Structure 1
Amino acid sequence: MKRISSLTTSSLFCTSHRTVPSISPSALFQCLHTTAPTAATPLPTTAPGPPPPAPVPAASQYGERVDRRRRQAELLKRGQDLRASHMKPGTAMKKRFWKDVSVQTDNESNHLVHLDARAVRNPTTKTPLLIPLSKPHLATALALEWDLLISNAQATKSHLIPLTSTTSRAHTLSLEEANSPHPASSGQGIRYDIINTLLRYLDTDTLLCWAPAPASNPTSSQAEEGTKTETLRELQIKTAKPILSYLTQRVWPGVELNPTLDDGSILPKSQPAATRAVIKGWMAGLPPWELVGLERAALAGKSLCVAARLVCEWSEYLRADMGEQGEGRFGIEEAAEACSLEVRWQTGRWGEVEDTHDVEREDMRRQFGSVVMVVSGTGKGVEG
């Protein structure tokens, strides 16, 4: 029998059933990496502050694809709207139906503004808008106003055709008084309404609203320099004096026009009853074109006195009766300056607000210009 110590290692794994193969010791180990097992060396932070932002991926085709689809959707919607607009009944309002505008004469008595072969009509009476033969400049201005319109929708907005609106009102008043005249004392009719409105403006007339008198003690700087600055009240009196003198001597002789705001009061004082009666009778006798021009000027400048001065200066009817000839000295600029004296005085001290004061200034001149066009003419006013 053999000794156990003399047996080889391989024989120890042998059994009666099978033999397990022997494994060399070197096969029990496997390398996980090839780098040297050295520790990392930390580096100091050299840039203070927060960490940099996370990296952003480069722009891909996704954004371009979205933009392209958005443009395609907009083009598609625009095409659908264009096709649908041809089927809507309001499409005709987007462009004007006329090509040419002209001024023609009707039976040698009136001017007519024609849009191609159609005459411009009065929106109130639905009849052709007749302009007296003595007002060729007004007819030309109306034709220019309509020639500047680009659509039918603009012709339905009165603020885009202001001269046509004023002319239509004068024409309506002329037709009303020719067919069924109503005296101003009857309490009805367009003339009665205009006179009542203008009499209310007389009680708060801009030309008669004066600032309270300042303190009599001058400032130290003015006393040292020996100069005196003109106050607002002095400017108001200086501006109103020639206008009131003209009215009380030539238009309303003998009337008394008092300041409506005097002695520092805040409630306006009414004019004497005799003054109101004279002015009311004067307005009752005005021709329709002059009365409508007076109304437009008073509404624009908030002053009946300035409106009366402007109308008397440029009216063909009133100038012929007064025997005045030559160029007028009281025009659009003088009327606008008289009605906006307080605004000019304030803007001269504190500055002008853009798109506010300048727009109001030009709009007032535009309205006074329309008044001059309505009341002026080549000779004696022809009613109708």
Structure 2
Amino acid sequence: MKPPTRIALRRLAANRRTLSISPSSSSPLPQRLLRSIHGTPPAPATVSPIHGQGPPPDPPQPTADSEQARLERRRKQAELLQRAQDMRTAAAVEKQSPSNPPPPQQPSSRPSNSGDKTSTKTPLLRKRFWKDVHVHEVDGAWEVHLDTRPLRHPTTKRVVRLPLSKHLLAGALALEWDLLVSAQQATRQHLIPLTSLVCRAIDIREDDEAREGIGSSNSSSSGSDNVNEGIRRSIVRTILRYLDTDSLLCWAPPPQRGTDDLEGPSLRDAQRSAAERVVGFLGTRVWPGVEIEPVLDGESILPRGQKPGTRQVIEGWVSGLDAWELAGLERAVLGGKSLLCGVRLLVEWSEGHVGVGVGAGVTAEPDDGGEKEKKFGVEEAARLASIEVDWQTRQWGEVEDTHDVEREDLRRQLGSVVLLVTGTGAR
């Protein structure tokens, strides 16, 4: 209270000088010149508390939606979309019917090569011109027949012929065409993924034969972007790019205290454990003596490449694959973004000389506990390719129609690789 007292006395002295009042004068000061000094804090306003009736409501919970109900809802949506498309198509056909002839068109200076085919193209493609799909053995190879018509390559128009050892692939290919409901669906690549993969392997084989001088000049593939380079060399060059950015060799930074206090093992531990298992298997059974190092570790943001000797060994191994194995490896690498994961799946199921699993007839070896090692299948490869996504969804949840669709699509692609490369081994 001492500083306010000095301030008040100074103001009082100034007022006395202004009024010409001497300090010794005994006359009382005016009441307006005196101000009380106190240090009582102001009392805040009292707010009435909010009284609620009963306990607080429960937080909102997502509705428990089963997988069957989700599929049923999507099926109904697809039926509604198909019904709307059929109505639009019927309206377009009705306008072009003879009872409603189209108005005469003005002659155009630009010639048209389409003629009347554009008006009848859509109704014809909506019909399925085959009734049954069969698999027949013709001249030492499997052929898929749509009634009596053999399945042909969409570009070269050659009959698609599969080796006798790939009877599972022939059956899956026939099932894919049996599930189509119209000829228009056969023109969409995402509805016939297995057919596209088989044609890719056939293109690689024909391109190799053409370059070796065995086949004719018409056997070269027309789907290659660079004819001089060749399909095989183009695939090898594309696959080796994933060696420097392999998803199995890109590890998360070490967890920091206070920021990564989540339950379970850290993402880095999961990635490192999976990479050590795959690299250990490949370094022992596939590429003996080859050292594969992580390309993204610690706090670095730019991946580092493998050693030149490692790249040379892997490039030579990939270049020596046959057409079926090379096409399968390309699909696995592009689908899983991992070269090591694709090679691990390929050598487990291939029927060729690189196979160390089912295709080569080698049974699983027992581990230290005396139990046989589990086969490396589609599910194991899919988990390796999506370690980070699975870890994030376990912590924060998944987005409907996004994560589940990507998960099933990855397993579909890896499953097609197994069907393509596996077989009985008797070529």
TM-score w.r.t. length of structure 1: 0.72
> Corresponding residue for 1:113?
144
> Corresponding residue for 2:231?
190
Matched, 1:326 2:326: no
**Structure 1 position 221, deviation (Å):** 8.4
Mark the runs of 5 or more structure 1 residues left unpaired by the alignment: 1-74, 223-227
For the residues of structure 2 that align with 1:242 and 1:116, how far apart are their CA atoms?
A: 48
Distance 1:264 1:118, change over 3 A: same
> Corresponding residue for 1:282?
317
Q: Which has the higher contact order (CA 8 A, sep 6+)?
A: 1
Q: 8 Å contact 1:124–1:172 — kept in the other structure?
A: no
> Corresponding residue for 1:262?
297
Q: 8 Å contact 1:320–1:379 — kept in the other structure?
A: no
For the residues of structure 2 that align with 1:187 and 1:273, how far apart are their CA atoms?
A: 26
**Structure 1 position 85, deviation (Å):** 6.5
Provide the alpha-carbon RMSD of the alignment: 2.6
> Corresponding residue for 1:344?
390
Matched, 1:122 2:153: yes
SS in 2 for 1:334: helix
**Structure 1 position 181, deviation (Å):** 3.0
Distance 1:282 1:346, change over 3 A: same
**Structure 1 position 178, deviation (Å):** 2.1
SS in 2 for 1:199: helix
Distance 1:213 1:80, change over 3 A: closer
Q: 8 Å contact 2:348–2:356 — kept in the other structure?
A: no
For the residues of structure 2 that align with 1:372 and 1:320, how far apart are their CA atoms?
A: 14
Distance 1:316 1:83, change over 3 A: same
Q: 2:129 aligns with which of 88, 97, 110?
A: 97
TM-score w.r.t. length of structure 2: 0.65
Correspondence list, 1:1-384, <5 A = 81-82=93-94, 84=96, 88-90=119-121, 91-107=123-139, 109-181=140-212, 188-215=229-256, 217=257, 229-317=264-352, 318-319=354-355, 324-326=361-363, 329-380=375-426, 382=427
Q: What does the per-residue CA deviation read over 1:131-172, in whole Å, with 9 as the maximum and x for residues that have no partner?
A: 111000000000000011111111111110000000001011
Q: What does the per-residue CA deviation read over 1:305-363, in whole Å, with 9 as the maximum and x for residues that have no partner?
A: 00000000000112279954237710000000001010011111111100000000000
Letter in 2 for 1:154: Q
**Structure 1 position 175, deviation (Å):** 1.6
Letter in 1 for 2:396: W
**Structure 1 position 252, deviation (Å):** 1.2
Quick check: 77-86 or 134-143, which moved more?
Answer: 77-86
**What's the % identity of the aligned pairs?**
51
SS in 1 for 2:290: coil
> Corresponding residue for 2:105?
none
Decide which structure has greater helix share.
1
Distance 1:117 1:268, change over 3 A: same
For the residues of structure 2 that align with 1:330 and 1:221, how far apart are their CA atoms?
A: 32
Q: 8 Å contact 1:125–1:172 — kept in the other structure?
A: no
> Corresponding residue for 1:18?
none
For the residues of structure 2 that align with 1:220 and 1:291, how far apart are their CA atoms?
A: 41
Q: What does the per-residue CA deviation read over 1:13-47, in whole Å, with 9 as the maximum and x for residues that have no partner?
A: xxxxxxxxxxxxxxxxxxxxxxxxxxxxxxxxxxx
For the residues of structure 2 that align with 1:349 and 1:265, how far apart are their CA atoms?
A: 24
Distance 1:79 1:267, change over 3 A: closer
For the residues of structure 1 that align with 2:234 and 2:130, how far apart are their CA atoms?
A: 36
| Runs of 4+ residues over 6 Å off in structure 1 | 218-222
Letter in 2 for 1:325: V
Q: 8 Å contact 2:293–2:306 — kept in the other structure?
A: yes
SS in 2 for 1:325: coil
Q: 8 Å contact 2:351–2:360 — kept in the other structure?
A: no
> Corresponding residue for 2:216?
none
Mark the runs of 5 or more structure 2 residues left unpaired by the alignment: 1-86, 99-115, 214-226, 365-373
Quick check: 293-302 or 95-104, which moved more?
Answer: 95-104
SS in 2 for 1:103: strand
Distance 1:78 1:280, change over 3 A: closer
**Structure 1 position 124, deviation (Å):** 2.8
**Structure 1 position 286, deviation (Å):** 0.5
For the residues of structure 2 that align with 1:121 and 1:355, how far apart are their CA atoms?
A: 35
Aligned length: 296
Distance 1:169 1:338, change over 3 A: same
Letter in 1 for 2:134: S
Structure label with greater radius of gyration: 1
SS in 2 for 1:152: coil
**Structure 1 position 242, deviation (Å):** 1.1
Distance 1:219 1:94, change over 3 A: closer
